[in-house]
Amino acid sequence: MTNETILLVEDNPDDVELTKRAFRKNNIANELVVARDGVEALDYLFCKGAFADRAAGDAPRLILLDLKLPKLDGLQVLERLRADERTRLTPVVILTSSKEEHDLVSGYKNGANSYVRKPVDFNQFVEAVRQIGLYWLLINESPHHN
């Protein structure tokens, strides 16, 4: 797979580590940038704060977004992404443990491309990440992809 960046917005260190392990196990070699809260995610995407030196044209190929985040929750992050011309078309997969119908509906209403509930079992999680990577990084044609 290509070396385009994937932004993982996740505050749970165990889930971050599980995602990294699942990427390695599936040979997904893309750089994985981790933002631990909604504000950090927006700073990364819009080159502010600690990320002010990041090249603005170097948008992530894919954003994996948890919903339950400190400072700014995932739905608020998604709203801001979709309201900005620079990130409006970036694919966003909500990757969450939330089983709430309201979160599912709100995710799609706010412009999520996909909504995936995190499986509790590690092997199922690895398989879910494999399928996400396969679809979003290889099969799907992205507007940012040349």
| Whether the Cβ atoms of residue 96 and residue 118 lie closer than 8 Å to each other | yes
| Whether the Cβ atoms of residue 19 and residue 32 lie closer than 8 Å to each other | yes
Beta-bridged to residue 34, according to DSSP, are 8
> Could you report the per-residue pLDDT of 47-76, keeping only the tens digit for each?
999 998 888 777 899 999 999 999 999 999
CA distance linking residue 53 with residue 49, whole number of Å: 9
pTM of the entire predicted model: 0.88
- pLDDT for res 33: 94
- Cβ atoms within 10 A of the Cβ of 109, count? 11
Grouping H, G, I as helix, E, B as strand and the rest as coil, residue 63 is: strand
CA distance linking residue 137 with residue 122, whole number of Å: 21
> Could you report the per-residue pLDDT of 123-142, keeping only the tens digit for each?
888 888 888 888 887 777 77
Segment 81-97 shows an average pLDDT of: 92
What kind of fold does domain 6-138 have according to CATH?
Rossmann fold (3.40.50)
The whole-chain average pLDDT of the chain stands at 88
- The domain locations on the chain are 6-138
CA distance linking residue 64 with residue 8, whole number of Å: 5
Which helix H or strand E contains 117, and what residues bound it?
A: strand 114-117
